[in-house]
Structure formats: structure tokens, C-alpha cells
Amino acid sequence: MSYCGNTGQCGRCNHPGPLGAATIESERLFAGGREVRIRHNGETYRLRLTRNGKLILNK
């Protein structure tokens, strides 16, 4: 795959894509675990990786 020029479209970088959203690989986000906690507006959310490889977000 070619270098994206920092547009986020190559799938290897985390630069904002065409809509301004950063792309983060799930392997990097979970860092070998099965759950991450995300703080947003004073609330904690849990992002879980299921046995089937699906993502579930719970408040």
C-alpha cells in the first residue's frame, strides 16, 4: 500500500481522514487486552472486543 501523504487513507497512520476523523487500529487501541474505557463528557464508556471479533460500546 502506498504512503497516504498524511490523509489517513492508507490505513497505517492516524492522521485525520477526509472527514477529519483520526483512524486508530484496534490492535493498538486494545494493546493486547479485550476492553478499553473511554471518558467522554464526565461519563465512562466501555469498548469491548468480543470472542467473535466484534466491538461493543456500553455506557
CB 13 within 8 A of CB 1: no
| Phi and psi, residue 2, nearest 5° | -85, 160
Number of domains in the chain: 1
Q: Residue 35: which CATH number?
A: 2.10.70.10
**Residue 22 has what pLDDT?**
81
| Global confidence as pTM | 0.64
Q: For residue 14, tell me if it sits in a domain.
A: no
Write the DSSP assignment of the chain as a string of letters: ----SSSSTTSS--S--TTS-----HHHHHTT-SEEEEEETTEEEEEEE-TTS-EEEE-
At residue 2, the pLDDT reads 42
Write out the residue range of the structural domain in which residue 35 sits.
Answer: 26-58
In a domain, 38, yes or no: yes
> Residue 49: inside a domain, yes or no?
yes
Examine residue 5 and state whether it is found in any structural domain, yes or no: no
Residue of 34 and 20 predicted with greater confidence: 34
For residue 39, is it within any domain? yes
Phi then psi for residue 27, to 5 deg, are -60, -40
